[in-house]
Amino acid sequence: MKFSTSMTVNRISEALWEIPKSEKPGMQVPARIYGTEKVLQDMDAGVFEQVTNVACLPGIQEYALCMPDGHWGYGFPIGGVAAFDLQHGIISPGGVGYDINCGMRLIRTDLTLADVRPRLDALMTELFRTVPAGVGARGFVKLNNKKFQEIMRKGARWCVDQGYGWDEDLSRTEASGCLSGADPDCISEHAMKRGMNQLGTLGAGNHYLEVQVVHHDRIYDHAIAEALGIHGHDQIVIMFHCGSRGFGHQVGTDYLRTFEKAMPRYGLHVKDQQLACAPFQSTEGQEYFAAMNCAANTAFANRQVIAHQIREAFGKVFQQSPESLGMHQVYDVAHNIAKVEKYFNKPLLVHRKGATRAFGPGSPELPDAFRQIGQPVICGGSMETGSYLLVGTSQAMKESFGSTMHGAGRTMSRAQAKRQVRGGQLLQEMAQRGILVKAVSMSGLAEEAGLAYKNISQIVEAVETAGITKKVAEFLPIGNIKG
């Protein structure tokens, strides 16, 4: 079998492959990559290089992982997962990503395609007005330092207390929308300034807000779908993708600089400077963890305010209350995070970088609504293809540190996509296919063309074949907002 690497790659199962420790000096554990044979053959060489670099980090446990949507990233590959011993392991911003707690939220409705299609233009216009998008977007929630620090500590709970959402949203959010251990004293003044005005904004890049339709023949497990409020029959749902924006980016930047200076003091050496790290129990490691939790909570709050604005927009266009439209949250899940979780009977620090938590049935961390079926997993595809709702499995808890893929994964750079696609032309072509797009920038739209991404269905099939996630339903886009 030919892959884009000269390393030995052994097949473990139909959708799991392993690079042995002997393939690179310094590897502490094997590296494992999920994917079918076709997915692995299409994987870029950077993934093999980066996942084996991760396998060299101090205190890593069991194996370094990469999901089938994996591609070259900063330090870790996008799609990377690694768990570290709390006493002897490290924490690395490159294993979390710059957009801390970038994640997905899914809202279901009682509306159908027949209800929405005649008002789709008005709806997308109102959503585009209500949810600011783009690089410099500013939110409507006015904050001062004190309020912003409260958000860092309380996350989505602060928003609900202010009337931006419903109590039930919190139980349907990972970690109830708030990670403990956040300390605003670990945040720089520059990061504060960057994040102060961004609450309730979508951002740019691959962030989006999408109105989608669920056809009955795209539901793959009707019992689980029904339990999550998804019934098909041309049902309308809303999915959106964003994180901590410039605030999280600045936190990552600040601590990467700190770690680069600190590594010599701790005798740490890495294969790639982008893997700059510190011992988890060190002062620097604990301060980054506290700052990361601040950014993660701000991201939960950001998505909470956006959910509120989406409900307001739907209510205005359809002249009904969001409650009467059945606009209940299905779930909100992070895919750029480091968290302490228990595996192999001990607590570990699990880094997920472009990878989604996928806890299986019976996991005590899950609320009663998901205890029997497993945690919902929300995976976005490209704006031209569609997205998926899945659930975590018991196999994921044993094998992948309760983790799975987070989306389609890019196949080409943004610059390359812009060389091949014209945003205005793409806008027209998508409209002809029944997908109405509102975009801040035509060049930004070109960067997100479907050809720049892997086939989402192939990626989903890979994690289902591997047994670490179970497919529930597929959603097709009819309206999209891009920054």
At 270-302, the pLDDT tens digits run 999 999 999 999 999 999 999 999 999 999 999
Select the more confidently predicted residue: 414 or 214. Answer: 214
Q: pLDDT class for 181, splitting at 50, 70, 90?
A: very high
Query: pLDDT (tens digit, 9 = 90+) per residue, 214-237?
Result: 999 999 999 999 999 999 999 999
Joined together, the tokens standing for residue 352 give 């997920």
Q: What are residue 3's DSSP bridge partners?
A: none
Q: pLDDT class for 410, splitting at 50, 70, 90?
A: confident
Return d(Cα 370, Cα 45) in angstroms, integer: 38
Pairing assessment for the beta strands 31-34 and 16-19 based on DSSP bridges: antiparallel
Q: pLDDT class for 483, splitting at 50, 70, 90?
A: confident
Return d(Cα 366, Cα 357) in angstroms, integer: 11
The per-residue pLDDT for 132 is 87
Joined together, the tokens standing for residue 334 give 């992070």
Please say if the pLDDT value at position 332 is more than 90.
Answer: yes
**Which pTM does this prediction carry?**
0.96
- The full set of domains in the chain, from first to last, is 10-88+100-411+453-482 (3.90.1860.10)
User: Please, what is the average pLDDT of the chain?
Assistant: 95
187 and 287 Cβ atoms separated by less than 8 Å:
no
In this prediction, what percent of the chain has a pLDDT beyond 70? 100
269 and 259 Cβ atoms separated by less than 8 Å:
no
Q: Which is catalytic among the residues 241, 335, 351, 406?
A: 406
The per-residue pLDDT for 55 is 98
Instruction: Say whether 406 is catalytic.
Output: yes
Q: What are residue 13's DSSP bridge partners?
A: 16
CA distances from 363 to 161, 232, 359, 384 (A): 28, 28, 6, 35
Query: pLDDT (tens digit, 9 = 90+) per residue, 351-361?
Result: 999 999 999 99
The per-residue pLDDT for 104 is 98
What is the pLDDT averaged over residues 183-209?
Answer: 94
